[in-house]
Amino acid sequence: MQTYYLTDAGKVREHNEDRVIIVKNDNEEYFMAVADGMGGHRAGEIASSMTIEYLRDAFLAMETIGDKANAVNFLRESVLTINKKIFAYTDEFPESKGMGTTLVVAIVTANYLLFGNIGDSSGFVMKEDKLYKVTKDHTLVNLLVSTGELTAEEAKLHPKKNVLMRALGANDPIDIDIFDVDMGVSEILLCSDGLTNMLSEEQIQKVLETQELTVEERVIRLIKKSNNRGGTDNISIAYLVRESGE
């Protein structure tokens, strides 16, 4: 496996509330995650940091994530714990009330591939030279598209396209959508909406399929292109490429 992750504040925001990580345990299992924090008093970065740090430490504390059922339980129980931690923090520090974070994760093992998401950070896979979005955004406009009140094209331009219907720290109880993904994929890309609001899926795919670029260079180019198109939000990417025979 080749991996690389990077986060960038973008061109407009004064500070970066995104957090991103890729870790590997001793059993050659990978955990990837992106969290996009939000909230007052610069508290978004606290929520996203709490989320990523908890997941990293919990994953690395296990010798193996175990079978698929164990991995699903790990994700569901982890988000419940993190949610409680965020609410406890806002109780202790009232000025941070309203803080929260999105989350998108991938667990990669020899036997299965799972994605999970809360909010509008996205998970993609590359399969047979085509980029596919796996996750579904928990946004108001996505809900309106699913009920037929908006078309997909109308949703892209809707003034409330970033209104979240689900986020850690905003909903209690909380649940994470989990996707059992085909093992035949060649690449995995997780990102915050700072990337997907600036670049189309076609533009993202064009960069990922540029073979003369290294894994690191593809991530850097995606962030650079997002900034060139305005960089209106923090941009975070976690990227994994399976090498031949893996």
Phi, psi of 111 (to 5 degrees): -115, -15
Confidence (pLDDT) at 40: 62
How far is residue 139's CA from residue 119's CA, in Å, rounded to a whole number? 7
pLDDT of residue 94 exceeding 70: yes
First to last CA, the chain: 7
Sequence ranges of the domains in the chain:
2-137+163-241
CB atoms within 10 A of CB 243: 8
Query: For 130-140, what is the mean pLDDT?
Result: 93
pLDDT of residue 233 exceeding 70: yes
Encode pLDDT of 183-202 as tens digits. 999 999 999 999 999 999 99
pLDDT of residue 39 exceeding 90: no
- Say if CB 230 and CB 1 are below 8 A apart: no
pLDDT of residue 119 exceeding 90: yes
Residue 83 parent element (H or E)? helix 68-92
43 pLDDT band, cuts 50/70/90, is confident
C-alpha to C-alpha distances, 44 to 88, 101, 118, 122, 129, nearest whole angstrom: 15, 7, 15, 18, 36
* Residue range 2-137+163-241, CATH number: 3.60.40.10
